[in-house]
Amino acid sequence: MVFVLDKHKKPLMPCTEKRARLLLESGRAVIHKINPFVIRLKDVTVDNCIIQPCRIKIDPGSKVTGIAILQGEKVLLLVELYHKQGIKKSLDDRRNHRRFRRNKLRYREPRFDNRKREKGWLPLSLEARVQQVINTVKKLAKYIPIDNISIEYVKFDTQLMQNPEISGVEYQQGELQGYEVREYLLVKWGRKCAYCGKENVPLEVEHIVPKSRGGTDRVSNLTIACHECNQKKGNMTAEEFGYPDIQKQAKQPLKDAAMINATRWKTYNLLKEMYPVECGTGALTKKNRIDRNLPKEHYCDACCVGQSTPKEFVFKADYILEFHAKGRGTRQRTLLNKYGFPRAYLSRQKEYFNFQNGDYVKAEVPKGKYKGQYTGYVAVRKSGYFDIRDANGKNIAQGISYQYCHIIQRYDGYKYGRRKRHILLHPSDAMDGVSCA
């Protein structure tokens, strides 16, 4: 599907690629943006069209967030947002250098008591993830009419299950009882037997300390095992079975789930300021996906978020748009040696010859080693001789004069791509539904 705007840049309903091509060839439309591809009609306004508002569904993840735009049962658009990585490592390196300089080389009175955090403060790595989701929703809302949002606000609803992170909560019986516990265990134990490590086999929920030996049904006492290991273990504890570290691992919280739990309310509150928001749990998402026989993909999970999920889907989107959050540069102005002192200084100027890093350009080189046409992302230099890179950051042309480069699209902090949507089911889907022993 192709985004469509009216002549006043107001969003209209998307159209097929064939329809967009005919509109462009007839002169009724012009290209408004390349990535993502958007056309603008010259002779149509939103007042003259029938608008059917759509629902945007979001499946947050620590590394990849799945997004789907639905109009009833029709899936119009599929997006995967790849979050920027390495923020925490950069902050840790900076802090370590700073502490070394202050404590090892010169003494300074501590000033940590002067630092105050506002209510709702989040670590920068989590704050960046929240803002990337919000910015992507705003970006999509410019190109398609949206009236509702569905979001998976927590991977596991810890209030509906006994778990090692929250004690004293009664286990509430309900339709999602099995899905909550089993999905939690599958993710925690990597979808493989906790004892022998077998994958892609039917797995069973197993008690680390058997109930006949005083064990409970709390999730801190549960793991998953293949049928052979479950039968062989019998009435023994995990320690007696030769796995003393199983109990310790069972009590460790999930890092990715903890990240989503930490950011869920801020994301929800910011989205609520924009549109009505429907929430759902990860277990409900999985139940909807399995009931509809969809593969385990981020975009399929997004389609199945919340109670508003239709019984059947009609996929109009054959491609998945990829949004890679890269940021707009760095505030770091120096390169440091191993002692944390400057060894080189970076320029404060970001733009040279009206180009900056990340601009999507077309280069027409008339002569030399790289004679030909190149399209990609530019890496600028003060000398005026730039490199052209593909979406993966690999150089496809080096030392190209800025005079041969023409901007197609300005850099906005994201890199874009697309890939064909998978049709067949994921082979491990049949193994996701574990049984209770």
For residue 78, give both structure tokens: 């599929």
> What's this model's pTM, rounded to 2 decimal places?
0.74
One fold for 172-243 and 334-412: no
Domain spans of the chain, in order of start: 1-51, 172-243, 334-412
DSSP 103: I
Distant-in-sequence contacts of 119-127, Cβ < 8 A, 24+ apart: 120/266, 122/262, 122/263, 122/266, 123/88, 124/87, 124/88, 124/91, 125/87, 125/88, 125/91, 126/259, 126/262, 126/263
Residue 428: the pLDDT is 38
Q: Please give the CATH topology (third level) of the domain spanning 172-243.
A: DNA Binding (I), subunit A (1.10.30)
Rounded to whole angstroms, the Cα distance separating 20 from 16 reads: 6
For residue 21, give both structure tokens: 């091509």
- Number of Cβ within 10 Å of residue 384's Cβ equals 14
Tens of pLDDT along the chain (437 residues) come to 889 998 899 999 888 889 999 999 999 999 998 888 899 999 888 888 888 888 999 998 888 999 999 988 889 889 999 999 888 888 888 888 777 777 766 666 767 667 777 888 888 888 999 999 999 999 999 999 999 999 987 765 544 444 433 333 333 333 345 556 777 788 778 888 888 888 888 888 888 888 888 887 777 788 888 988 888 888 888 888 888 778 777 766 667 777 777 888 888 889 999 999 998 888 788 888 888 888 888 888 899 998 888 888 888 888 889 999 988 877 777 888 877 778 888 888 888 999 998 899 999 999 888 889 999 899 998 899 999 988 778 888 888 999 999 999 899 888 888 888 765 444 333 334 333 32
Q: Is 293 left (phi over 0), alpha (psi -120 to 50) or beta?
A: left
The angle formed by the CA atoms of residues 366, 372 and 377, to the nearest 5 degrees, is: 110
| Nearest of 220, 222, 192 to residue 207 by alpha carbon | 222
Rounded to whole angstroms, the Cα distance separating 21 from 31 reads: 10
User: How buried is residue 75: exposed, middle or buried, by Cβ count under 10 Å (0-12/13-18/19+)?
Assistant: buried
- Does residue 50 sit in helix, strand or coil? coil
Residue 215: the pLDDT is 81
Give CA 282 to chain center in angstroms: 15
Q: May I ask the CATH class of domain 334-412?
A: mainly beta
The angle formed by the CA atoms of residues 320, 326 and 329, to the nearest 5 degrees, is: 160
Residue 178: the pLDDT is 55
Residue 385: the pLDDT is 93
